[in-house]
Amino acid sequence: MRLLWSGYSGCPAAPSARSVLIATVLATSLVVGCSGAQPHPTLDELRAVPGATLTLPDALEYGRVATDSMPGPDGGTPASIKVDACTNRRATELMAWFDRQLRSVGWNRDPATHDVDPGLYTSGHAWVREGRRFDLLLDTRANADRLAAAANRATGCPTAYRTLVQ
């Protein structure tokens, strides 16, 4: 039988330094990208930020949900604290109270436009601190009544709102 490769010794040629470098970079990228490293602060780290757990003292909470961060292929999901509540204060008083409290512990108003879902919220305000965001969203009457009913509370809240911290 005749060999198709003349001079074949049976051992492949040693890889070039460039090939080794490229393979190393690709393997490292794959390991780092799939390692599950936390790209976002944990819930405990979020709670440790002054003001992140701020709650209006006289508010009636409809619900509170705290979710830890989760890694993912797209960068993951940040930890968050969400509170739905009702108060007898006017919306302007509510906003002023949160503004005073958050500014006193280092948060700054975010002047960017705050998009809100018109079916759920009438307006929104935001503050930022060290890569964190604190949103205050004022509920529509329909959304406020839906949240109250889901929490087995009376409907007709004068000012219902949501805070969301990430």
pLDDT tens digits, residue range 73-117? Answer: 887 889 999 999 999 999 999 999 999 999 999 999 998 766 778
Residues 157 and 144: their CA atoms lie apart, in Å, by 7
What mean pLDDT do residues 141-158 have? 96
Phi (first) and psi of residue 63, to 5 degrees: -175, 150
| pLDDT (mean) for 119-133 | 92
Burial of 34 (0-12, 13-18, 19+ CB in 10 A): exposed
Range name among 19-33, 131-145, 150-164 with the lowest pLDDT average: 19-33
The reported pLDDT for the residue numbered 118 is 80
Domain ranges of the chain: 43-165
Residue 135, classed as helix, strand or coil, is strand
State the chain's mean pLDDT as an integer: 83
Q: Render pLDDT for 6-63 as a digit per residue (tens, 0 to 9).
A: 454 555 556 666 654 455 444 444 444 444 444 688 999 999 999 999 999 999 999 9
Token pair of 110 as six digits: 């975010």
**Mean pLDDT score, 136-163:** 95
| Integer Cα distance of 110 and 113 in angstroms | 8
